[in-house]
Every structure is written in C-alpha cells, then in structure tokens.
Amino acid sequence: MKKEGNIVDNIINPEVEDEIYQKPIKEVLACFSTLETGLTTPDTVKRIRRYGYNELPQKKKDSQFILFLKQFNSPLIYILVLAMIISFIFKHYVDGYVILLVLILNAVIGFVEERKAERAIDSLKKFIVSYAKVFRDEVLIKLPARQLVPGDIILLEEGDKVPADCRIIHSKNLQTQESSLTGESLPESKSADILYHKSPLGDRTNMIFMSTLVVSGHAKAVVVETGKSTEVGKIASSLQDIHYKESDFQSKVKNLTFIMGSIAIIGAFIIFLLGYFYRSLEFIDIFFFTVASLVSAIPEGLPAVLSVVLAVGAYRMAKRNAILRHLPSIETLGSVNVIVTDKTGTLTQNTLTAEKIYTSEGLFNVDGNGWQPIGRFYLKDKVVNPNNYPSLSKLFSICSLSNKSNLVRNDGKYEIVGDPTEAANLVLSKKAGVERENLLQDHLILDDQGFNSDIKLRATVVSLNQSRRKQLYLVGAFERLIENSDFHLVKDKKQKLKPKDKDAILLRAESLAKVGYRVIAFAYKDIPVNSKSIKDNNYSELIFVGLVAMKDPPRLEVKEAIEKAKSAGIRIILNTGDHKATAIAIARDIGLTSLLSPKVLTESDLEIMSDVEFSKAVSEVDIFARVTPSTKLKIITYLQKQGNIVAMTGDGVNDAPALKKADIGISMGIIGTDVARESSELVLADDNFATIVSAIEEGRVVFRNIRNSSSYLVSTNVAEQITIISSLLLMFPLPLLPIHFLWMNLITDGFNGISLSFEKSHQTALKQPPKKRNEKILNKEVIPFILIVGIIMSISTLAFFYYFYSNFGIEKAMAAAFISMTMCQLFNLFNMRSLHKSIFKLGLTSNKYALYAFLASFTLMILAVYLPLVNNLFRFNPLSFLELIMIISSSSLVLVVGEVYKFIRYSKK
C-alpha cells in the first residue's frame, strides 16, 4: 500500500484521477490506502484536515456594504433622489436634507430586514442534512455526507443520492439517474467492471458521481473525490438545497404591488391636478407634495416585508420539524384541504416489532420492544428454544439473508440502517441467536432484489455451500405468497399444501391483520444449480414457511392531530400498501374512522373501475389498501381534477412521481429516500403526521399575517391620500408637508409591518376552512374595513388640523395633524393583529414585537414634535401635554371602531 503522503498527489493529479476507472479495484483501494472494511477514525480525522469537508463551494454572498447599496436600487428611490436633487437646486435645503435622511434610514431598515431573512434561510439550511452509509472502524454507520473523505467505503441502495464521486467495488442491478450531471434523462446501468480505454464522463460505467440518484439496485463503492474536486464541483453545479421559484403566491404579491402602485399613481395625479389647477399652488410646492404623497402611498417595502414573513415562517416551521425546501410553498400549505398519507412511520411510531410467528409447528409469541435484539419465544405460554423448531430455523435464515438492513449500537442504543420492515426481521432472527455473519459462512448470496412495491415481494438467490443446492427466498405480501405456494414446510420436510390448509393459513393471516398487525409471509423454492439470477426463476411452486406478525403502534399524538385536521376542513386519506384489514385497524386506532366496517378499496378494486367510477371512489373513500405507486399517482391526479389542493406523504423511489404531482409533496426525513426528498416540497424531520398538521397551521398563520401586514400598509396609505385630496377640495391649507409624510411613512410602515409577521396562531388557524387556491391577499372581506378605518383617520386628522389652525396657527395645526395621523396608524396596528378577533382577547402584550414597534414609532413621533432643532426642521410648534393627551385619546377612536366592526361582523360566526 502507498503511504498517506502519496494519496494527495494521486487525487490532485488529473492524469491519475482520469485513470481511476481503468484500474483494477485492488489497485484503486491501494491508491487510497483503504480496505473494503473501511477507514479508521484516526485516518478520517487526518483526511478531513487535508481535503476539507465534502461540500460544494457556496455561492459568494454580497458583502454587507453591497447589500446596503442595493437598498437604493429601486424606481421609487430614484424618484426620491430626483426630488432631493431638485430640492437642493431650488435651495429647499431643509426638504433636501430630510429626504436624504429618509433615504438613509429607509436603506438601513431594508438592510436590516434582508439580513434577518438571510439569517433565517441560513438557519433553515442547517436542518437539511444528507447522510451516507459508510464503513468506519469495520462497522457500518450512518454519517452526515459532509464528513466523507477519499478512501471511505460506502453502501448505496435504491433511493440514495450519491454523496461523492466513487468507484464501484461491486454492485447488483445498479442504475443511476445522472441528469443533474450529464443531462441524460434515462437511467444509466452501472457495474464494477474495469474499463480499459479512455472514456468520456457519461460512459464511465464503473463510476458514480456526486448529486446523482440511485434508482435501482445496490452497490459498495470507494470514495475517490469529495467536495469541489468532484465532477459536479468542477462545473460549479448546485445541490438544489433551498431555492426560490416562481409561485402562485409570488404572482399574487406582484399583482398586489401593481394594483397598489397604480392606485398611488392615480391618486398622486389627482392631487397634482387639484393642487396646481384647482388651488393654483406653486409648481415646485405641489411637485414636492405630489412626490411625497406618491412615495408614502406606495408600500415600497412590501416585497421585503413579505420575504421576511416567509423566511421567519419557514424557520418557525423548521423548529417544529417541518422543513420547507421551497419557501413560497408555505402559502400553498395554508390552502391544503386533502392529506393523502401512508401509514408506516407517519401515523405509527416506526418501531416495528415482530410479536407473533405462525408456522406449521404452531403460533409463537415473541417478547421485547423496539430494535433491541433481546427477547424470548413462547409456544402455548411456555418459553421455548426457537432453534429446536426446523420451520423457525428456516424462517430465521430467510429473515437474515433476504435482508439489506443493519443494526447499529450507538451509545448503548440500537439504531437501524435500512428499511424498517427488514430491520424488524433482522432483529427477530437475532433474538433467536441467528447471526447473518455466521449464516454467510455456509450460504452465498448470488442475487438480491429489494422490495418491489408493484409485486409486493423481495427476492434473494442463495447458494447452500454444503449441499451445493440453490434456493430462491421470497418475503412479502401474504396473499401473493400463499396463493403461489404448492407446498409448506412441516418441521424440516416439505409437504403438499392442500386447499383447506391454504384457507387456514389465509384465515390466520387475515385475523392477525384485522387487529392491526402487519403480516409478512416467507417462502422459498429449490432452483436449478446453474441458476444465478432472480430473473432466471418464476415465483410459482413455492414452499410456504410461515408468517410474521409485526406491530407498529400508532403515535400518541396522531389521534389529536387528525381531529384538528378534520375540524380545519381537511380530509385525511389513508393510502397504504398494507392489507385492508390492517388498514382498517389502524384507521380505527387513530380516529380516522369510527365505523366497524368502513369502505376500503384495494388495487384490484380500482383496476376494474371506469374513469367515472374511479373519480367517484376517490371523492368518497378515505382508506385505500395494497395500492401501487402508479395508483397513488392516479389518486392524486383525480383529487386535483376535483379542485382539491393535495398534500401527499411518501418515502420511496416509486413515490417520487406522486410527490411531484401533489401540490405539496411531503417526504420523510428519517426513513425517506433521497429521491423522495428531492421530489418533495416539505421534509418531515420526525416523520410524524402531527407535524404535517402543524405545518399547515403555520402556513395558514403566515398567509393571515401577510394579509394583515398588507391591510395595515394599505389602510394607512389610503388614509393619507384621502386626507390630502379632502384638504385640497375643502380649500384647507396643506395639513402636512412632504417631509411630514416621508417621516410618517418611515416610522409607521416598516417597523409595524414586520412586527405583524410574528403574530401567532391565536388558536383559530385550524378552526377556519382552508382558503381557496385563487384567494387574493386583499379580498372583499378586508376592503370595507380598510375604507372605514381610512376614513376615520382622515376625519380625525382634518378635524384637529382645522381646530388648531383656526385657533393657534399653521405650525401648531400641522403638529396636531401629524400626531393625529401617526397615532391613528399606531392604534390601527392593534386592529390589524387580527381582522376577526378582539385585541383584548388576544392580549395587548401577546405580540411583544408589535408592542416594541408601537413604542419605537411613538418615540420617533414625539422627537419630531418636541425635540428642539428637529421640530424646527419639521416646522412644528409643540403642543401642550393636555393637547397631546386629547389628540392621542381621540385617535384611539380608530381602535374602538375596529372593535365594534369586528363584533358586529364576526361575533355570531
């Protein structure tokens, strides 16, 4: 073997790297100073120091200074800059400096908001971690893929994402999807065979590459390149972690911004016409006034505020174990009205435990819980040695050898690597003292095919070395195996399986399924000695061995979550590969149905239906059993045709098409495959159905907060425009100057709009029906409220202005108008915390951010009116304490009117 020091030269030398696929595998292992049993921990520590972590280079972010400068890149800001320049040209220095101050403060607020969103997204990325199955210290463990180093030995199975560039050591039926690298959409067949000639990337059939996906088969491979040295790293590709995409929600925001902008421009045009032609004001004065009203009427910070709302909402969801891969999907979540869910892991605890075994020698009970391989076997309530029963011994052999899972002990706790059902079989055999390593001394696995969800079976070809016989082992759906069995194992002899015996076995299996067990059947057959592949054999004339009944108890919180979902107007559909009796039992346990005999449809029932019958079944039936992935896709399609917004859970490769088709594809973070996660919008970090309901609740809360924030901004801007237009029509002096509107817009919009994004559920989000897909942010329900509070603000402001102008002069009148409009907007903030619920039921302090925003805006308002020099800039004459209290008290009428409106409109609902 070469020494560690030579590895670096080999890896960074392109000539050596290009020849990796041309070398014999022994030479490749020697080149990387590794063995098939893997590296040791000290080796990996050295290599991480030398090569770094297995990560692609991150896109360079803008510096904070550049991010700050970008806040000035907006058409609205250009208008303000133009207004500032004109102010200085015409020697309106006060106006010019105030606009400059507004520009700087607006940029600071925008910068802070974008940094918040950026930090929230960075935090969200930390929740999405890819793992790899790797041999370390001769033990197969599961590690974050970023910890892989050149020389690591990894296992890959169907559904895995390839974590690094690797040379295949050996494989079986391996196919990878390399479209992310080569653009080729068809799967590529792979093998360990050496290539003798120089080959382009797409023809290197003994190599697998980072970011590609395993779509079938399995392999053992050695890592040859990591991080930026991989092929995908060289071309600066992306892992497609968290990214933005155009969505219905973003279209709604653009449409809202366009409408509001159009209204603002029309309003500004009316103001200019009234001021210049109707009131004959100086051009420069009405110009500045029009620009100020335009800027204050357009919520230029709305897109940034909404980005913060989305990012904060997604981060809040992640803390509840629901990880969004695409942020705009959070809005779609709030619209979901159908959840199509699998059973295992999502509704159950995903700790499958084999509790009963049925063979020709009797019904055995097995104790023990979870993945701990310790338990006793009972026959007729007596402890027995399972190895004294030949049928059990054969069953344990099949359990161990027709199995790709592994059991790992970490810190005294047993964990599984692989499929939970196979892991339960492995634990069962270990309880009997049967170890796979010992069996492999006398058995050679020639071919192995993982569980096929279409035929509901997994298969393994085994050579029995001592007897030179070969057998085909089969594990899967009991109906299929019982039907295909012509014999059964009685002790250690095969006997003809009579029809009455088949019926008895089938009855036993169904009786176990009816009480909630997942029932797995085991069978085998002798095959010709020249047979090496599963494809060489059929699945007939089998020898039935026995049944294993497993229990995966429902999660404790699922029943309550289903009740919440139903009360929220969400339909739950159980879509499982289990037997229909098992599906009914679990549906009753979790509260999905209370009927003794609910309607259940199986794959065979659905296959014979016409399109009309299928559509009707999908709209009426809530439990589907023994369904294939293609039927899951069809169910999703028909649900969507009926106008539903569908969320679907999935964990396997074959679930990927249905996950992509669903409005919200939900993959499992623990038991799910990488392929399923790549096809989904939402990843459940805890594989828990209750987390889906929590995510939908959070989606509804985010949309509600977006609506409330938008309504707040619109209502304040409408009030300002009504006030200006009314003052011009009433022949009043202008109640507020351009700098007043600019300052007011600055201190009341940004702080307060963002504070509403932190509003919590109020325990009402799941008590409302789902919103419709095309529901607008500002709907007919909101507009009357906006107009009412806008008119109240305008009347209050103009009334105080007229009173103080008539008695004390223009400067005190402007101060009174400024305080009145600002306080009306601040009191309106509490209105907009909920468009339905009283602020006194919510509690004034239940959203501390709204309280902080109120106090900050109030302080800046007081400083503008009372701080010497500053009030001179604004041309304010300060009010007395009693006058201030009078205006503040009167401005609270906005809150009173809001409470009355909510009571009249919603108290009976």
Q: What residues act catalytically?
A: 342
508-520 core/surface letters (b: 16 or more CB in 10 A; e: else) = bbbebbeebbbbb
How far apart are alpha carbons 855 and 606 in whole angstroms?
62
- Residue 204 main-chain phi, psi, to 5 deg: -85, 80
Strand-pair partners of 144: 131
Question: Taking Cα atoms as reference points, which of 853, 851, 883, 850 lies closest to residue 866?
Answer: 883
Q: Are the C-beta atoms of residues 356 and 364 closer than 8 Å to each other?
A: yes
Q: Token pair for residue 139? A: 């033990």
Question: Taking Cα atoms as reference points, which of 687, 581, 585 lies closest to residue 625?
Answer: 581
Residue written as tokens 């892992």? 239
- The one-letter amino acid code at 77 reads I
Q: Are the C-beta atoms of residues 634 and 657 closer than 8 Å to each other?
A: no
How far apart are alpha carbons 872 and 760 in whole angstroms?
41
> What sign for the dihedral angle of Cα 207, 210, 211, 215?
positive
How far apart are alpha carbons 344 and 420 in whole angstroms?
9
Q: Token pair for residue 666? A: 């939900």
How far apart are alpha carbons 125 and 115 in whole angstroms?
15
Strand-pair partners of 623: 574, 600
How far apart are alpha carbons 649 and 690 in whole angstroms?
12
How far apart are alpha carbons 768 and 763 in whole angstroms?
10
Q: Are the C-beta atoms of residues 496 and 487 closer than 8 Å to each other?
A: yes
Q: Are the C-beta atoms of residues 317 and 691 closer than 8 Å to each other?
A: no
Question: Taking Cα atoms as reference points, which of 340, 339, 338, 335 lies closest to residue 770?
Answer: 335
Question: Taking Cα atoms as reference points, which of 311, 160, 212, 209 lies closest to residue 677?
Answer: 160
How far apart are alpha carbons 611 and 894 in whole angstroms?
56
Question: Taking Cα atoms as reference points, which of 655, 885, 889, 776 lies closest to residue 335?
Answer: 776
Using CA atoms of 768, 770, 776, 781 in order, give the dihedral in degrees to the nearest 10: -30
SS3 assignment, position 31: helix
In degrees, rounded to 5, the angle at the alpha carbon of residue 898 between the alpha carbons of residues 896 and 903 is 95
How would you classify the pairing of strands 153-157 and 213-225?
antiparallel
How far apart are alpha carbons 108 and 303 in whole angstroms?
16
